[in-house]
Amino acid sequence: YPQNPEKHREALPDTLVWREKLAYNEPYVSNYLRHPAYGNYPVVGVSWKQADAYSKWRTDRVNEGILIKKGIIAPDNAQTGENVFTTESFLAGLYQGTEGKNPLKDAAGTGRRVRWEDGLLLPNYRLPTEAEWEYAALGLVGNTEDELLTDRKLYPWNGSYLRNSDKKTKGRMMANYTRGRGDLMGMAGDLNDNADITAPVMSYEPNDFGLYCMAGNVNEWVSDVYRPKSNDDVNEFQPFRGNVFTKYRTDSVSGKLMRDQFGELIKDTIEDSRNFQDGDYRSQIVEGEDWNEAKDNTTTNSMYIQSTKEGQFSSLISDNARVYKGGSWKDRPYWLIPGTRRFRPENEASNDLGFRCAMTRVGSPDGF
């Protein structure tokens, strides 16, 4: 965003999260994520909003790279204003890029635009739901035989201990965590997890899905809005709380889709379901078939008070409280259990909280 430096600054991780009033962490403020020595360390200092925005940005850059690599569009490093490549605006025919050397052609031999049906573009990167994250963290695929679960897990690895039990690596720590008060990495000359703060993302053995650091190192944002009894509220299939349903805004005269100054298609909210059936009175009302239409008031305050203006009090549990999981370098072992959960306002960041992206698989779950 060369014409909007503020937009660029909003996306940067905040290294000030390392600053503590009674600790000397200034070297991390200056060096973390900036010095090459931290090049393979997990990103921290990002809010849920930043992580969500990055996932969308990553989708656009990856799909743009696919089209450039295949020669369908030409590279354009001078994109400005609303004519910036986004996947949605490209598929809608609003992105005016430069044609590449190998454009798609129709049956008549004339050039045509790429369509979603061509299967060239990838689905959206996004934050995983809490259910997806927990499933991925446990990695029970290694403990099944003929559709039978042979051994349950407490952590992403087998057993109830935090050290490796294999003969070749026996005794090695399985995760980066805090054993006790002041014990972040053991004793000098005999370090246990070998990390005083975060560690490189591939420092410890992966789980049975091949995923690294699903316990310890840094906590991770998930997409869900927090409620204390989420497991009792959500659907059986693809459980998730946090849906905000939208529709594209169209020009009242031309009927064309509208974009903002950054090339993103403008969307209007038609239903905010973040606080649906969380104990408030309105959720008990049967809405009929028109729930998918726009409403004058889509939120309620009767159960969890939402702050509507600066300085107004609200409950800690609100529609802006997001779940994070996994445990971190400064957490005790309890938080390394995938089933544990905490929450934090979506606009806050911390030096022990990062994220990873997920993508919905299209078609068969395992291939036919």
The structural domain count of the chain equals 1
CA 125 to chain centre: 8
- 16 part of a folded domain: yes
pLDDT at 302: 52
- 263 part of a folded domain: no
pLDDT tens, residue by residue, 79-127: 887 888 999 999 999 998 889 999 998 888 888 889 999 999 999 999 9
Mean pLDDT of 13-35: 96
Select, from the ranges 178-192, 250-264, 299-313, 319-333, the one with the highest average predicted confidence (pLDDT): 319-333
Q: Which residue has the higher pLDDT, 323 or 77?
A: 323
- 113 part of a folded domain: yes
- 84 part of a folded domain: yes
- 338 part of a folded domain: no
What is the domain range of residue 33? 5-40+47-126
- 62 part of a folded domain: yes
pLDDT tens, residue by residue, 218-258: 999 999 999 988 677 788 999 999 999 999 999 999 999 99
- 297 part of a folded domain: no
3-class DSSP state for residue 246? strand
Three-state SS string over 125-181 comes to EECCCHHHHHHHHHCHHHHEECCEECCCCCCCCCCCCCECCCCCCCCCECCCCCCEC
Q: Which residue has the higher pLDDT, 282 or 255?
A: 255
pLDDT tens, residue by residue, 324-334: 999 999 999 99
pLDDT at 128: 98
- 155 part of a folded domain: no
Mean pLDDT of 185-208: 91
pLDDT at 117: 95
